[in-house]
Amino acid sequence: MRVLNGIDHLEDAHKLLKGKRIGLITSSAGVTVNLEHDTSVFKRLGYHIETLLAPEHGIWGNIPAGEVVSDGTDRLTGLPITSLYKKDRKNLPKEVIERLDIIVYDIQDVGSRFYTYISLLKNVMNDCKKAGLPLLILDRVNPLSGKVEGNILKEEYFSYVGCFSLPQRYGLTVGEVARLFDSEIGLKDNLHILEVLNWNRNMLFPETGLTFMPPSPNIPNFDTTLAYAGLCLLEGTNISEGRGTTLPFLQFGSPFIKAEELVKELNCLKLPSVIFTPAFFTPTFSKYKGELCEGVLLHITDYHEFRPVETGFRILYTIRRLYGDDFKLLPKEKGNTHSFFTLLTGTELFTKENTDIEELMEIFRKDSETFLSTCKEYIL
């Protein structure tokens, strides 16, 4: 049997959607098993989209990370676009809410805590609670399976790159995340989920038979999605995470790294299902734009055995040991209590010189086990 996402049996939500003014949150990855986009499916079934609601990266995934998404009109469909990713606005505007009868959320997530689409989901759930609006989640597979890895985020570190007490790799579908969020928000009967069909929790994305659609500009394929769960941490440091190259999150480096030296040290760690080779690249944007960087390209040899969170932290510990005079965490941004690195990792332990990597991994292992036991009631 084919794995089907919520959009693939949208007819099952006919009573909820018929005759309603719909606000649709979607992206370029919002497609059916046959690659028909959400907007076409809704039109074909006769459902009225009042406005498209745009996440970070925009409706069609063309806007770079962190850049403001503007309101406007979608050239492809002619539908109005309301941005949910502006500097001063990441919620539903009151004047838009008043024109809607229901919100529909259909975004392919990547299974990593710091990816902002679930923060958008939490904001929208709060907006729906205040307005008394129903919310329909068109659930999608978690591309990283149901496996959990990493520490549980504490409330003191909550931000738009970590909005809830989730592990770094959290192992839930977006519908299950919504159920977990609702334990605090309380939409209750106004939360509706069109479930994923024929998926099991051991399946990684390549095993679903679905076509991978990039959910954002720097997540072009599954290997990147898997590596991102650990290598995104480099965004909070002065190491290039590969943005501005054709291999973001699969290669990393800087002008002060010696490629062969770092590769030798990382391969000596004998980490599960990953091999490191030297990389030389010149980013066209982001960190070290126009500068030659030396670093590492990672090759995942077994998707199921590879541990991205552990790999990411062991890379960081190795870089700090070898290049401690040059390696830096990015400074706190104005108005922030914590550095971006701390917001991404959800821990100050890495910044403490006396915290051993094995001690850190044991804390992460216990957190993962705790989360697995406490989230059972939210699994569909």
Pick the last residue of a domain from 214, 238, 264: 214
**DSSP 3-state assignment of 276?**
strand
Rounded distance between C-alpha atoms, residue 276 and residue 147, angstroms? 24
Burial class (CB in 10 A: 0-12, 13-18, 19+), 361: middle
Residue 374: inside a domain, yes or no?
A: no
Question: Lowest-confidence range among 49-58, 63-72, 204-213?
Answer: 63-72
Contact status, residue 151 vs residue 367, Cβ threshold 8 Å: yes
Higher pLDDT among residues 71 and 249, named by residue = 249
Residues 194 and 247 in one domain: no
The predicted pLDDT at position 335 comes to 73
Residues 137 and 56 in one domain: yes
pTM for the full model?
0.95
Q: What is the domain extent for residue 296? A: 222-347
Contact status, residue 361 vs residue 313, Cβ threshold 8 Å: yes
Instruction: Place 86 in a pLDDT band, splitting at 50, 70 and 90.
Output: confident
Q: Which two tokens stand for residue 320?
A: 């700090």
CATH number of the domain enclosing 250: 3.90.1150.140
Neighbours of 289 (CB within 10 A): 12
Residues 179 and 123 in one domain: yes
Residues 161 and 267 in one domain: no
Backbone angles phi, psi at 138, to 5 degrees: -90, 100
The predicted pLDDT at position 353 comes to 66
Nearest by Cα to 109 from 171, 159, 188: 171
Instruction: Place 352 in a pLDDT band, splitting at 50, 70 and 90.
Output: confident
For the four alpha carbons of 221, 120, 204 and 340, in that order, the dihedral sign comes to positive
- Give the chain's domain count: 2
Q: Which two tokens stand for residue 283?
A: 């980013």
Residues 264 and 161 in one domain: no
Q: What percent of the chain has pLDDT over 90?
A: 90
User: Which amino acid appears at position 43 of this protein?
Assistant: K
Q: What is the mean pLDDT of the chain?
A: 95
Instruction: Place 377 in a pLDDT band, splitting at 50, 70 and 90.
Output: very high
Residues 210 and 236 in one domain: no
Pick the last residue of a domain from 214, 247, 269: 214
pLDDT tens readout for residues 229-267 = 999 999 999 999 999 999 999 999 999 999 999 999 999
Backbone angles phi, psi at 371, to 5 degrees: -65, -40
